[in-house]
Structure 1
Amino acid sequence: MKKITIGVATHKPYQMPSDSMYLPVQSGSEFHPKIEEYSQDNIGDHISGKNKNYSELTALYWIWKNVSADYKGLAHYRRHFSKDHNVNIFTQGTFNEVLDRATLESKLEKADIVLPKKRNYYIESIESHYNHTHYEQDLVVTRDVLEKIYPDYVEKYDEVLKRKSAHMFNMFVMSEEKFNSYCEWLFSVLFILEENLDISEYNDFHARVFGRVSEILLDVWIDKNNYSYEEIPVIFMENRSWLEKGTKFLKAKFKISRY
């Protein structure tokens, strides 16, 4: 049996999936009381102290540097892959619907990577949506960084920004070899971006910029390397106010107010 480890990033105690392939990882452990039954992302080689700007990526980094498995992945305490293809993002999920090993293995037999179903923005491109809700300079400086260190990725980056859908949430499962390769590429970009992007005036919400940029970079890396993927629905474990989210989305689009 292949060893599969999917880290579940969380900053607080929360119900976890029962399947043994899930590993709760306390992200931002540097800033929170220790949760004894979880792995902490400030042990070993880590960047836990960057959590306020990197969000769940501090857990991703920890898994990259400290966990060995045939397949590795990342999920979120409030967001999980679902084994039920009939669920959708508009309903609250249950832990009985969370992706299990057998379903995941059947997907990994067909493709290199397992991803969430694409999130569609319909009336906006990825770039325009980001610029309406966050800061345009984030994407501009990211492109500058790619031009300097990975110029062969720039064309794909521009292409992804023009699309109206993307694989969001920093959720995926892939072989350890690909996982490690992706993390090496991703963090090399983000660390230089961090050095060149002035976020001194960002509030706490916008300061999580590197976690958000990484959501876009995932598709860039996958498409540039021509990896195949299988999509799985994502379920949300808490109720969400879609009216509130929709209102904020429209206000941002029409420049009434930012998120």
Structure 2
Amino acid sequence: MKIIVAAHKPYQMPEDSIYQPVYVGSALKGECPAGYIGDDTGKNMSEMNPYYNELTAMYWAKYNLQNEDIVGLAHYRRYLGSKSSHSLQDVLTEAEIRKGLEGADVLLPKVRNYYIENQKDHYLNAHLNEPYFVLEQVIHDDYPDFEPAFLALEKSTKIHLYNMSIMPQALFQDYTDFVFGVLAKVQEKIPYDTYQGQDARVFGFLSERLMDIWVETRRHKYREYPLVTTEKTNWLDKGSQFLKRKFLNSDQTRTHF
């Protein structure tokens, strides 16, 4: 079992050996921090990190952790935990993960509910619109089996975020085949390398829409867990930015929420 922890800088990490820090974007940086593995080793897409975010760690795991029975992805600031907290002592243990997978196919973070807008509107209010419409077309043209779940997600206010999950190896391979297959087709159709600032992180944002689509289409059972976040969230600031995006429609307020 390995839960890779995507990180772009040295940071406190869980002491449990199942958690493996992966230094994302290593191909574009200097020396890898001690105890980390660079995502530029083995088969990789490290140089695409500015556009794919933590997905370059996921891609690395897909091809370089194939001997593990269970694979997961966490962030250096976010983990699945036994309870909601800010302490790394509460991240899931190997025993808790194995127990969770006894009754579920996939372990996911607790669902986010935006209440006042559906997922399609939320994305279009927060990000460049062109990539989303291209994603819609790619699903329609090349992944028609997934389209019903995609259309249902568009209308839902709920979503599992962060590209975080834990699952058996076989499911991980199927999931990542889907994610990277879809994103590769989107990549061919958009000028992603001209995007600036946060908009450049386009594939990381689009991929958050793919987890629930895959889970629902494959009819996998999932179990949700609270987040352990090593940094406290300013919900007042996030809430105000959310409302500005929705009601002011200002480019200056477009930030990921």
Q: TM-score range by the shorter chain?
A: over 0.9
Q: Check the 8 A contact 1:83/1:97 in 2, yes or no.
A: yes
SS at match of 1:205: helix
CA distance in 2, matches of 1:244, 1:32: 31
SS at match of 1:231: strand
- Give the structure 1 partner of residue 106 of structure 2: 113
- Give the structure 2 partner of residue 222 of structure 1: 215
Amino acid at match of 2:3: I
How many Å apart are 1:182 and its aligned residue? 0.8
- Give the structure 1 partner of residue 204 of structure 2: 211
- Give the structure 2 partner of residue 78 of structure 1: 77
Q: Check the 8 A contact 1:7/1:59 in 2, yes or no.
A: yes
Q: Is 1:186–2:179 an aligned residue pair?
A: yes
SS at match of 2:40: coil
Q: Check the 8 A contact 1:52/1:204 in 2, yes or no.
A: no
Q: Is 1:167–2:160 an aligned residue pair?
A: yes
- Give the structure 1 partner of residue 4 of structure 2: 7
Q: Check the 8 A contact 2:127/2:254 in 1, yes or no.
A: yes
CA distance in 1, matches of 2:15, 2:254: 39
Structure 1: give runs of 5+ residues left out of the alignment: none
Q: Is 1:144–2:142 an aligned residue pair?
A: no
How many Å apart are 1:201 and its aligned residue? 4.6
How many residues align? The count is: 250
- Give the structure 1 partner of residue 60 of structure 2: 62
How many Å apart are 1:97 and its aligned residue? 1.3
Q: Check the 8 A contact 2:88/2:228 in 1, yes or no.
A: no
- Give the structure 1 partner of residue 237 of structure 2: 244
Runs of 4+ in 1 over 2 A off after TM superposition: 198-202, 256-259
How many Å apart are 1:150 and its aligned residue? 1.1
- Give the structure 1 partner of residue 124 of structure 2: 131
CA shift digits 1:14-63 (9 cap, x unpaired): 11111111111111111222223211100110000000000000000000
- Between 188-197 and 97-106, the greater mean CA deviation after superposition: 97-106
CA distance in 2, matches of 1:117, 1:123: 18
SS at match of 1:20: coil
CA distance in 1, matches of 2:145, 2:91: 37
SS at match of 1:25: strand
Q: Is 1:52–2:45 an aligned residue pair?
A: no
Q: How does 1:19-38 map to 2 (within 5 A)?
A: 19-33=16-30, 34-38=32-36
SS at match of 2:178: helix
Amino acid at match of 2:110: K
CA distance in 2, matches of 1:53, 1:81: 24
SS at match of 1:196: coil
Q: Check the 8 A contact 2:81/2:90 in 1, yes or no.
A: yes
CA distance in 1, matches of 2:63, 2:230: 28
CA gap of 1:200–1:48, structure 2 versus 1, over 3 A, is closer
Amino acid at match of 2:205: R
- Give the structure 1 partner of residue 93 of structure 2: 100
SS at match of 2:233: coil
State the percentage of identical aligned residues: 39
CA distance in 1, matches of 2:160, 2:9: 25
CA distance in 2, matches of 1:115, 1:200: 31
Taking structure 2 as the reference length, what is the TM-score of the superposition? 0.94
Taking structure 1 as the reference length, what is the TM-score of the superposition? 0.93
